[in-house]
C-alpha cells in the first residue's frame, strides 16, 4: 500500500496515478474531497480527506490503515514572494506548518506500519529551494531547508532498519496551482514565472522520479534526487528562450 499526501492536484495527483499504474493500492490524501473523488473515479485510488496539519486527524487516519509500504510526503506549498524585511509572518507560519510539521506528523504516524512490513519507503518531495536560497523565497526556502533536515536526520536514525528515506527535490515545475497560489491568485504574476521557459517540468515528470526511486530494489536508497528542466542549470541560472525545435 502507498499513501500519497497532497494528492488532489499537481505532483501529488500525478504520483498517485503513477503508483497506481505500477500496481500499488494507493490511498490519496488531501483536503479537497471533490478533487479526490474525481481522481478515485479516474484511477481507482482510495480517497481520504485529511489536512496534514491536523494532528488528531493524522493519528486517526494511521489507526485506520492496516498496512503501509510507501509514504510519499508531498503536501506543501509556497505563499508569498516578499523580501524578508516585508514578509508576512503568517505566510511563514503556514508554510512551516504544512511543509515541515505536516511531513513530521505523517511520518511519525505511519512509521510503525512502515517498520512492520518487509521493507518500507518514505519519499519526501522537497525542492531545490531546500538547499539554495533566492530573493523573495525566504519563507519557502526556510521551510524546505527544514524538511530536508528532517529527511536527512530520519535516514540517519533509521540506519540498520529496512526503511528507505528518499528526498526528491524538483526545480521549476509548472502546475496549475503552485505559482498561482503563491501569487495569491494573480494569474499574470504566476504566468510570468514561466514566461519564455521551454518545457518546465510537469507534475508527471516528478511523479516518474518518485516511481523510479520507489521501484528500485529495497537495498537501493536514493538519498536525494535533484530534478530540473534542461532550461534551469541552477536556482539562479534560467534560460528563457527556445531550446527545442518543432
Chain centroid to CA 207: how far? Answer: 10
- Asked whether 53 and 98 are in contact (CB, 8 A), the reply is yes
Q: What percent of the chain has pLDDT over 70?
A: 100
The stretch 64-87 carries a mean pLDDT of: 96
Query: What digits encode the pLDDT tens for the residues 123-140?
Result: 999 999 999 999 999 999
What local confidence, expressed as pLDDT, does residue 1 receive? 96
245 has pLDDT over 80: no
pLDDT band at 117 (very low <50, low <70, confident <90, very high): confident
140 is catalytic: yes
- Asked whether 198 and 186 are in contact (CB, 8 A), the reply is no
Q: Which of 48, 96, 134, 140 is catalytic?
A: 140
The stretch 200-213 carries a mean pLDDT of: 98
Q: How does the average pLDDT of the chain come out, rounded?
A: 96
What local confidence, expressed as pLDDT, does residue 12 receive? 98
Segments making up each domain of the chain, as ranges: 2-238
pLDDT band at 236 (very low <50, low <70, confident <90, very high): confident
| Closest C-alpha among 227, 31, 242, 6 to residue 103 | 6
What local confidence, expressed as pLDDT, does residue 83 receive? 97
What local confidence, expressed as pLDDT, does residue 246 receive? 58
Backbone angles phi, psi at 195, to 5 degrees: -60, 125
Query: What digits encode the pLDDT tens for the residues 147-190?
Result: 999 999 999 999 999 999 999 999 999 998 999 999 999 899 99
The set of residues, in sequence order, having a beta carbon less than 8 Å from that of 246 and lying 6+ positions away, is: none
pTM of the complete model: 0.96
- Asked whether 237 and 156 are in contact (CB, 8 A), the reply is no
What local confidence, expressed as pLDDT, does residue 7 receive? 98
| Closest C-alpha among 76, 174, 84 to residue 125 | 76
Query: What digits encode the pLDDT tens for the residues 53-68?
Result: 999 999 999 999 999 9
Please report where in the chains the cell 512492520 appears, as a residue. Answer: 116
In CATH, the number for domain 2-238 is: 3.40.50.720
Amino acid at each position: 500500500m502507498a499513501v500519497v499526501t497532497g494528492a488532489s492536484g499537481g505532483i501529488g495527483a500525478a504520483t498517485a496515478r503513477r503508483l497506481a499504474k505500477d500496481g500499488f493500492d494507493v490511498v490519496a490524501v488531501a483536503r479537497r474531497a471533490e478533487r479526490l473523488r474525481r481522481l478515485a473515479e479516474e484511477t481507482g485510488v482510495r480517497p481520504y480527506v485529511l489536512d496534514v496539519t491536523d494532528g488528531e486527524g493524522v493519528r486517526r487516519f494511521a489507526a485506520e490503515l492496516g498496512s503501509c509500504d510507501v509514504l510519499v510526503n508531498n503536501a506543501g506549498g509556497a505563499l508569498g514572494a516578499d523580501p524578508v524585511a516585508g514578509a508576512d509572518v503568517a505566510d511563514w507560519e503556514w508554510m512551516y506548518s504544512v511543509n515541515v510539521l505536516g511531513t513530521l506528523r505523517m511520518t511519525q504516524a505511519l512509521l510503525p506500519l512502515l517498520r512492520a512490513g518487509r521493507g518500507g519507503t518514505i519519499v519526501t518531495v522537497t525542492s531545490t529551494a531546500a538547499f539554495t536560497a533566492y530573493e523573495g523565497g525566504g519563507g519557502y526556502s526556510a521551510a524546505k531547508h527544514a524538511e530536508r533536515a528532517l529527511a536527512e536526520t530520519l535516514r540517519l536514525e533509521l540506519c540498520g532498519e529496512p526503511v528507505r528515506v528518499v528526498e526528491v527535490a524538483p526545480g521549476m515545475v509548472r502546475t496549475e496551482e503552485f505559482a498561482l497560489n503563491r501569487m495569491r491568485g494573480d494569474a499574470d504574476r504566476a504566468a510570468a514565472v514561466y514566461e519564455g521557459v521551454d518545457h518546465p517540468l510537469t507534475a508527471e515528470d516528478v511523479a516518474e522520479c518518485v516511481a523510479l526511486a520507489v521501484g528500485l530494489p529495497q537495498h537501493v536508497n536514493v538519498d536525494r534526487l535533484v530534478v530540473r528542466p534542461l532550461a534551469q542549470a541552477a536556482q539562479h541560472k534560467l534560460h528563457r528562450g527556445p531550446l527545442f525545435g518543432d
